C-alpha cells in the first residue's frame, strides 16, 4: 500500500524545505524526497552556508594580519590553522542542517531518502541507495531539485586540483596559485577566500567585465578594489584546456575570447565557476510530459504549475536568478497557492548579494537596464569616505547608488558596495516593495553614526543634495 500525502516535494534545499514547512503550517500532509543523507540541499551543505563560514573566517584572518595595528592593537602575525577553519565550516553546516531536521519533526513532515522519480501525476517512486523502492501517492508534486555546477567541455573535474565550488570549499592546503574560471559571484567569493589565506589568484572571464548582470559601474569599481587586494584578472579570455603536469601542477591554456594567440598559465588548483545549470536527472520528466525550455529549465506559469496538472516547480530548476531566497519565496508562494491562497513573489524587489570584502548588494534595475529600456532616470550617489561610522571602522571603500524615475521619483533600483552592504540593502527592498520614492527615504530618520546614513544621503542627493558631501 502506497503512502498518501497532500503534497510531495522532491528536494530539500531552501525552496523545498521552506515549501514543506509552509504547506504543513497550512494543514497539508507533506512528504519530502531527498537523495542526500542530510537535508538542506546545495545551499546548506556545499554552497551558501559553508562558503559564508570560510568567507567570515578568512576575513577575520586578514583583519588580524593587517587591520589591527592602525587601531592600536599590537599582536603577533596570525598563524593559519586551516584544519580548524574547515572544522568551523563543518560545525556551521551541521548546525544549520540539524535545524532543518528539527523543523521537519516539529511540523510532522515525512522524509523519504532516495532518488525521487515522478511515475505519473500523483505518483512518486523513491529509490534508496540500498533497499526496496517506495511508492508515494500524492495530490500534488513540487519539483525543487535545484542546480549543479556547470562545466567546460574537455575539462575533467576531480574536486582535488580541478574543482567546482564543492572542491574549493574542501581544499586541505592553501594553493600557491589558484586559477578561477569565471568572474561571477561564486568565483569571486571563493577566490577572495583563498587570496586572503595566501593564494595568488588569477581570474579568467570570457566577457569583458566581471559580475555579468550587475550594474557596470559597480563592477568596474569593484574590480579595482579586488586588484588592490592582489587578485589578477584576464578578461575577454577563455580557458581552452588544462593539462596536469608530472610535478603536480597544472598548465592552463588561455586564449582571447575572440580568437588569437594562446597563453600558458601555471596553477596549482583550478576552480571552474562558470555558473550553474538546472538538475533534472532521474526525475522522469520526459515520461510524464513535463516541458522544459531551451536551457533545460522546467517551464512553469505564474502559479508555478508545469505543463502537467498537479505538478509544480520552484527554485533553481525554473527560470530566474539562482538565489536561495528566491527559491524560499517561491516555496512559500506555491504552498499558499495549493492551499487556495494568493501566493506571490515580487521579482522586481529581489535583492542579491556578493559576500566579498567589501560586499556588494543590489535590488531592482541596473543603470544599464534602464538605459536599454529608455527610462528617464536620475542617479543619487554617496561615498563611504564621507560617512563618519565608516571612517571610524576603517571601512571607507565603496558607495551607495540609487536610481529613481525622473517624473515619479519612484526608486527603481539600488546598489551598494561597502562593509555590511548585504544588511543595508533591505531598507531599499522594503521601500521598493511599497513603491516608495527617493523623497520617502530621504525624509526617514537614520541613526547617527551608522553606515546606513549613506543610504539616506544617496537619496538626499537625488533631490536638493546630500548634507555631508
Q: Between vectors from CA 173 to CA 171 and to CA 178, what angle results, nearest 5°? A: 75
Contacts of 264 by beta carbon, 8 Å cutoff, 6+ apart: 251, 252, 253, 254
pLDDT score recorded for residue 463: 87
The pLDDT assigned to 464 comes to 85
Residue the block writes with cell 550553474: 276
Residue 3's pLDDT is 75
The verdict on whether 325 is a catalytic residue reads no
How far apart are alpha carbons 211 and 38 in whole angstroms?
A: 32
| Terminal-to-terminal C-alpha distance of the chain | 72
**Cα separation of 437 and 250, whole Å?**
53
Closest CA to 389 of 420, 352, 356, 432: 420
Could you give the count of Cα atoms lying within 13 Å of 34 in the half-sphere of its Cβ?
24
Reading across the β-sheet that carries 162-163, which strands appear in turn? 162-163, 269-272, 177-181, 200-204, 232-234
Q: At what angle do helices 14-25 and 82-106 cross, to 10 degrees?
A: 30
Residues 44-92 have pLDDT tens digits of 999 999 999 999 999 999 999 999 999 999 999 999 999 999 999 999 9
Q: Which of these is catalytic: 66, 344, 426, 448? A: 448
Spatial neighbors of 445 by CB under 8 A, at least 6 apart, are none
* Mean pLDDT to the nearest integer, 312-322: 98
Query: What whole-number distance in Å separates Cα of residue 146 and Cα of residue 316?
Result: 5
Query: Is the Cα torsion angle 55, 147, 167, 268 positive or negative in sign?
Result: negative
Q: Write out pLDDT tens, residues 192-202.
A: 999 999 999 99
Q: Is the pLDDT of residue 1 over 60?
A: no
Helices (H) and strands (E) in the chain, counts: 15, 22
Q: What is the pLDDT of residues 296-309, one digit of tens each?
A: 999 999 999 999 99
d(CA 41, CA 282): 16
Q: In this prediction, what percent of the chain has a pLDDT beyond 70?
A: 100
CB-CB contact of 459 with 376 (8 Å): no
- Which pLDDT does position 2 carry in this prediction? 67
pLDDT at 143 over 60: yes
> What count of other Cβ atoms lies within 10 Å of the Cβ of residue 300?
24
What is the helix (H) or strand (E) element at residue 149, kind and residue range? strand 147-149
Q: What pLDDT, in 10s, does the model give residues 207-254?
A: 999 999 999 999 999 999 999 999 999 999 999 999 999 999 999 999
- Grid cell listed for 385: 569616505
How far is 397 from 224, CA to CA, in rounded Å? 11
Across 144-168, average pLDDT? 96
Please, what is the average pLDDT of the chain?
97
pLDDT in tens, 329-381: 999 999 999 999 999 999 999 999 999 999 999 999 999 999 999 999 999 99
3-state secondary structure of 101: helix
The three cell numbers of residue 89 are 565550516
Amino acid at each position: 500500500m502506497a503512502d498518501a500525502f497532500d503534497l510531495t516535494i522532491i528536494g530539500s534545499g531552501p525552496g523545498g524545505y521552506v515549501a514543506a514547512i509552509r504547506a504543513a503550517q497550512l494543514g497539508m500532509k507533506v512528504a519530502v524526497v531527498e537523495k542526500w543523507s542530510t537535508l538542506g540541499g546545495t545551499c546548506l551543505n556545499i554552497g551558501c552556508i559553508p562558503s559564508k563560514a570560510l568567507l567570515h573566517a578568512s576575513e577575520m584572518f586578514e583583519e588580524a594580519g593587517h587591520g589591527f595595528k592602525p587601531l592600536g592593537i599590537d599582536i603577533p602575525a596570525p598563524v593559519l590553522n586551516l584544519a580548524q577553519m574547515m572544522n568551523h565550516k563543518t560545525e556551521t553546516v551541521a548546525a544549520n542542517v540539524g535545524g532543518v531536521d528539527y523543523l521537519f519533526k516539529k511540523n510532522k513532515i515525512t522524509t523519504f531518502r532516495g532518488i525521487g522519480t515522478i511515475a505519473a501525476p500523483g505518483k512518486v517512486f523513491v529509490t534508496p541507495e540500498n533497499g526496496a523502492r517506495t511508492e508515494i501517492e500524492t495530490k500534488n508534486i513540487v519539483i525543487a531539485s535545484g542546480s549543479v555546477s556547470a562545466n567546460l567541455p574537455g575539462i575533467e573535474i576531480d574536486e582535488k586540483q580541478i574543482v567546482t565550488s564543492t572542491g574549493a570549499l574542501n581544499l586541505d592546503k592553501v594553493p600557491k596559485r589558484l586559477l578561477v574560471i569565471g568572474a561571477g559571484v561564486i568565483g569571486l567569493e571563493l577566490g577572495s577566500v583563498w587570496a586572503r589565506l595566501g593564494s595568488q589568484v588569477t581570474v579568467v572571464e570570457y566577457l569583458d567585465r566581471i559580475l555579468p548582470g550587475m550594474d557596470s559601474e559597480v563592477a568596474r569599481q569593484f574590480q579595482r578594489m579586488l586588484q588592490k587586494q592582489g587578485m589578477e584578472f584576464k578578461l575577454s579570455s577563455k580557458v581552452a584546456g588544462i593539462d596536469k603536469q608530472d610535478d603536480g601542477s597544472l598548465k592552463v591554456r588561455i586564449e582571447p575570447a575572440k580568437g588569437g594567440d594562446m597563453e600558458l598559465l601555471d596553477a596549482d588548483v583550478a576552480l571552474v565557476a562558470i555558473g550553474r545549470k538546472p538538475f533534472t536527472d532521474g526525475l522522469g520528466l520526459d515520461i510524464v510530459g513535463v516541458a522544459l525550455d531551451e536551457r533545460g529549465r522546467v517551464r512553469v506559469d505564474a502559479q508555478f504549475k508545469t505543463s502537467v496538472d498537479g505538478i509544480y516547480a520552484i527554485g533553481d530548476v525554473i527560470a530566474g536568478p539562482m538565489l536561495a531566497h528566491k527559491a524560499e519565496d517561491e516555496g512559500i508562494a506555491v504552498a499558499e497557492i495549493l492551499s487556495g491562497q494568493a501566493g506571490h513573489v515580487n521579482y522586481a524587489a529581489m535583492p542579491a548579494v556578493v559576500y566579498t570584502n567589501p560586499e556588494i548588494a543590489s535590488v531592482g534595475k541596473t543603470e544599464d537596464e534602464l538605459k536599454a529600456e529608455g527610462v528617464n532616470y536620475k542617479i543619487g550617489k554617496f561615498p563611504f569616505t564621507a560617512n563618519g561610522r565608516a571612517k571610524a571602522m576603517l571601512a571607507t571603500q565603496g558607495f551607495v547608488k540609487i536610481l529613481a524615475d525622473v517624473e515619479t521619483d519612484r526608486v527603481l533600483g539600488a546598489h551598494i558596495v561597502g562593509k555590511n552592504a548585504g544588511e543595508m540593502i533591505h531598507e531599499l527592498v522594503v521601500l521598493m516593495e511599497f513603491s516608495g520614492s527617493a523623497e520617502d527615504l530621504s525624509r526617514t530618520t537614520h541613526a547617527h553614526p551608522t553606515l546606513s546614513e549613506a543610504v539616506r544621503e544617496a537619496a538626499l542627493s537625488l533631490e536638493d543634495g546630500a548634507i555631508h558631501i
